[in-house]
């Protein structure tokens, strides 16, 4: 069976004026199997955001191969990369980035409408997802009226709204106090498990990492055991 994500020998540098002065990723090999939830643990500045952006087709590597669901997407033209990102990848960041002028439900409905889903179906999907993470009763409230934990739960629902194959999360509960982080992480895992999604979740928190299927460590630009 194909892996949902396969990264092979990924290299990425930033110039800072000189050719490749900063080598952030130095030959990363990483896979995420179907339905597998992998923790990505890395010291600050190790390149985990860079790696997630390359895996999610938001950035390109200097070298190496990126495959999503068995398809080599390394050299796809921009238009196809964008289409694949929209259809197949869900992103969650440390900060929710919800649209402030729309309600919680609308924030989850809008990306579905952009993907051609009907208003009725998009609304039903939004409520079902919010129900799974315990925020359905906040559907009509704007983000500013929600707690930090509720805002992040809504952001999880938005990331999953278009039924991606792969979820990429960059410190998804890193902005919350420890108790809230724990509960919100539980909600995320419930959502991920209920959809059978494959996920790569970056965290500094080793307790959270231990609740995933497997942990990979990124250090000095490579995956270390």
Ligand X SMILES: Nc1ncnc2c1ncn2[C@@H]1O[C@H](COP(=O)(O)OP(=O)(O)OP(=O)(O)O)[C@@H](O)[C@H]1O
Range in contact with ligand X (rule: CB under 6 A) among 47-55, 62-70, 81-89, 177-185: 47-55
C-beta closer to ligand X: residue 55 or 212 = 55
Among 19, 45, 116, 178, binds ligand X (CB under 6 A): 45
Q: Using only the alpha carbons of the chain, give its radius of gyration.
A: 17
d(CA 26, CA 29): 10
Q: HSE-up of 198 (CA within 13 Å, CB side)?
A: 19
In the region spanning residues 56 to 95, those forming contacts with ligand X, defined by CB under 6 A, are: none
State which of residues 1, 19, 44, 120 lies at the interface with ligand X (CB under 6 A): 44
Nearer of residues 59 and 101 to ligand X, judged by Cβ? 59
CA atoms within 13 A on the CB side of 153: 30
For every residue of 1-45, DSSP letters joined together read ---SEEEEEEEEEE-TTSTT-EEEEEEEEEEE-TT-EEEEE--TT
Nearer to ligand X (CB atom), residue 150 or residue 171 = 171
Among 22, 87, 114, 145, binds ligand X (CB under 6 A): 22
**How many residues contact ligand X, by CB under 6 A?**
11
Supply the minimum distance, in Å, between the C-beta of residue 94 and ligand X: 8
Q: Is 172 in the site for ligand X (CB under 6 A)?
A: no
And the tokens for 193? 């498990």
Instruction: Tell me if 154 contacts ligand X by CB under 6 A.
Output: no
Strands (E), 33-150: 37-41, 63-68, 71-72, 89-92
Of 37-45, 68-76, 117-125, 135-143: span binding ligand X (CB under 6 A) = 37-45
> Would you state the structure tokens that stand for residue 24, as one six-digit string?
């952030």
How far apart are CB 60 and ligand X at their closest, in Å? 12
Are β-strands 222-224 and 214-219 bridged in parallel, bridged antiparallel, or unpaired?
antiparallel
Q: Candidates 40-48, 78-86, 99-107, 130-138: pick the segment binding ligand X (CB under 6 A).
A: 40-48
47: left (phi over 0), alpha (psi -120 to 50) or beta: left
The residues of the shown chain that bind ligand X, judged by CB under 6 A, are 14, 22, 24, 42, 44-50
């Amino acid at each position: 069976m194909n892996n949902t994500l396969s990264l092979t020998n990924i290299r990425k540098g930033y110039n800072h004026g000189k050719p490749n002065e900063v080598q952030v990723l130095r030959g990363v090999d990483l896979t995420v199997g179907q339905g597998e939830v992998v923790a990505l643990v890395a010291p600050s500045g190790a390149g985990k955001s860079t790696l997630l952006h390359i895996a999610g087709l938001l950035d390109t590597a200097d070298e190496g191969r990126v495959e999503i669901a068995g398809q080599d997407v390394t050299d796809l033209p921009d238009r196809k990369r964008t289409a694949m990102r929209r259809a197949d990848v869900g992103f969650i960041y440390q900060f929710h980035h919800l649209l402030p002028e729309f309600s919680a439900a609308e924030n989850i409905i809008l990306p579905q409408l952009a993907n051609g889903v009907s208003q009725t179906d998009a609304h039903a999907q939004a409520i079902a997802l919010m129900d799974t993470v315990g925020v359905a009763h906040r559907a009509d409230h704007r983000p500013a009226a929600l707690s930090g934990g509720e805002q992040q739960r809504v952001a999880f629902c938005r990331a999953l709204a278009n039924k991606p194959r792969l979820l990429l999360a960059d410190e998804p509960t890193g902005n919350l106090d420890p108790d809230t982080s724990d509960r919100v992480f539980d909600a995320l895992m419930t959502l991920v498990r209920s959809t059978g999604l494959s996920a790569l979740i970056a965290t500094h928190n080793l307790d959270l990492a231990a609740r995933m299927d497997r942990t990979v460590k990124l250090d000095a630009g490579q995956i270390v055991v």
